[in-house]
């Protein structure tokens, strides 16, 4: 993605983790984005999708086979490693600990959701501060808006899918209403920013 202002380019260069959240209407774009990530992608990725434990999901297995990065369901006490995509398990909030490990939490749902995007975004921002890139996509409730606002307050990079192209616009619109979002992008532009992250981020975890 070309013509980024220097402040956004600096945020990308200094980033240490990528967060992606979505719900209704977000599965397809998340799948496509992760499938496109190259083997050289420099950041670990945490993904939170609203899904029920009642229904078996094979998105991790499919992406692990078809994509270039390792993709798995997050495990409690697991150390975060670059080159790996971690999905929040159904019915657990996915949190980040100060020692760089993941933890699974079964406390109350947030916005009727567990896993909650807010919980992961806020926990990761507490650890990584300004070195976070957070992406919020299509969804039918306001989960993620407070998390995006928190990342923004700590000067991380915030990216929201343009509500006009989102399959369900409630979630991205709530984030735009609540936070000072850095970038509001369509699907191809979001894919472009992933390429930019790969090109200019030189973080070594």
> Which residues lie below 8 Å from residue 85, measured CB to CB, with a gap of 6+?
34, 37, 44, 45, 47, 63, 67, 69, 70, 71, 72
Among 23, 113, 138, 152, the active-site one is 23
∠ CA(148), CA(189), CA(62), 5° rounding?
Answer: 80
Active site residue 152: no
Does 93 qualify as catalytic in the annotation? no
Catalytic residue among 50, 93, 118, 138: 50
Active-site residue, from 93, 111, 138, 143:
143
Distance CA 114, CA 101 (A): 19
Residue 126 is a catalytic residue:
no
**Which residue numbers are catalytic?**
23, 50, 143
């Amino acid at each position: 993605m070309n013509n980024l202002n220097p402040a956004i380019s600096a945020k990308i260069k200094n980033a240490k983790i990528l967060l992606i959240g979505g719900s209704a209407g977000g599965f397809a774009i998340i799948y496509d984005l992760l499938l496109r990530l190259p083997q050289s992608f420099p950041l670990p990725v945490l993904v939170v999708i609203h899904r029920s434990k009642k229904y078996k999901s094979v998105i991790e297995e499919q992406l692990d086979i078809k994509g270039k990065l390792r993709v798995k369901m997050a495990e409690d006490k697991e150390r975060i490693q670059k080159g790996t995509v971690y999905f929040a398990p159904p019915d657990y909030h996915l949190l980040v600990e100060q020692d760089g490990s993941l933890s699974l939490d079964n406390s109350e749902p947030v916005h009727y959701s567990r896993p909650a995007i807010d919980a992961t975004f806020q926990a990761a921002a507490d650890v990584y501060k300004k070195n976070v890139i957070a992406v919020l996509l299509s969804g039918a409730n306001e989960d993620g808006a407070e998390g995006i606002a928190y990342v923004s307050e700590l000067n991380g990079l915030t990216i929201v899918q343009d509500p006009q192209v989102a399959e369900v616009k409630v979630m991205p619109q709530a984030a735009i209403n609540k936070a000072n979002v850095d970038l509001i992008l369509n699907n191809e532009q979001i894919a472009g920013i992933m390429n930019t992250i790969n090109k200019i981020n030189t973080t070594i975890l």
